């Protein structure tokens, strides 16, 4: 059963309305990594499969984020799908000023020297094919060049401002 919207409560679109609407949208949780002078990474809920042939994904990144200077220049990125057992890892990569690659984060240099996180459900190394300015963010389009989907477990979700697991 659908509920008719109450038009008397309409609000002008802006950052607060967008945040309020998307708190109600459950999204998968990924971590994007790249290698510059040092490894960088951030938690992303904007990861999208764009095309199967060639295999292209997209994600948004804030141009004011500490990861942006490296992502603005790098040729390759790592895309990691987190499991529900990785709430703390997601929180570390979402936290400003955190040393995201310090212990207890487990990672190694992968193809193209991209930092690869261990224990994830799946990962890709992707070649950046486009960067599209989008307000205070940039939409990055990247073509998968290698990866693995051998992890086990259930995906981590972001909903109502919290990291959650699936419920049966």
Please tell me the predicted confidence (pLDDT) of residue 93.
97
For every residue of the chain, DSSP letters joined together read ------GGG----SHHHHHHHHHTS-EE-EEEEEESSSEEEEEES--EEEEETTEEEEEEEETTSTTHHHHTT-SEEEEEEPBGGGHHHHHHHHSTT--TTSTT--EEE-GGG-EEETT-SEEEEEEEEEEEEETTEEEEEEEEEEEE----S-BEEEETTEEEE---
Nearest CA to 98 among 110, 106, 90, 109? 90
> Mind listing the domains of the chain with CATH numbers?
14-151 (2.30.110.10)
**Is 9's pLDDT higher than 90?**
no
Please tell me the predicted confidence (pLDDT) of residue 81.
98
Please tell me the predicted confidence (pLDDT) of residue 143.
98
Please tell me the predicted confidence (pLDDT) of residue 124.
98
Residue 30 has a CB neighbour count (10 Å cut-off) of 28
Here the tokens at position 104 are: 């207890």
Residue range 71-130, pLDDT digits in tens: 999 999 999 999 999 999 999 999 988 899 999 999 999 999 999 999 999 999 999 999
Please tell me the predicted confidence (pLDDT) of residue 41.
97
3 falls in which pLDDT band (50, 70, 90)? low
Distance of alpha carbon 56 from alpha carbon 50, whole angstroms: 5
Distance of CA 143 to the CA centre of its chain: 15
**Is 167's pLDDT higher than 70?**
yes
Instruction: Report yes or no: 111 and 31 within 8 Å, Cβ to Cβ.
Output: no
């Amino acid at each position: 059963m659908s509920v008719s919207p109450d038009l008397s409560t309409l609000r002008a679109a802006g950052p607060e309305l967008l945040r309020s609407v998307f708190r109600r949208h459950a999204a998968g949780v990924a971590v994007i990594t790249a290698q510059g002078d040092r490894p960088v990474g951030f938690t992303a809920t904007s990861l999208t499969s764009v095309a199967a042939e060639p295999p292209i994904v997209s994600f948004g990144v804030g141009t004011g984020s500490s990861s942006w200077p490296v992502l603005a220049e790098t040729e390759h990125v790592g895309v990691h799908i987190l499991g529900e057992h990785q709430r703390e890892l997601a929180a570390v990569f979402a936290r400003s000023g955190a040393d995201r690659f310090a212990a207890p984060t487990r990672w190694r240099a992968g193809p193209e020297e991209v930092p690869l996180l261990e224990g994830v459900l799946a990962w890709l190394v992707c070649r950046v094919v486009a960067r599209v300015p989008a307000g205070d963010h940039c939409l990055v389009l990247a073509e998968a060049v290698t990866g693995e989907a051998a992890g086990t477990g259930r995906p981590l979700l972001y909903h109502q401002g919290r990291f959650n697991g699936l419920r049966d």
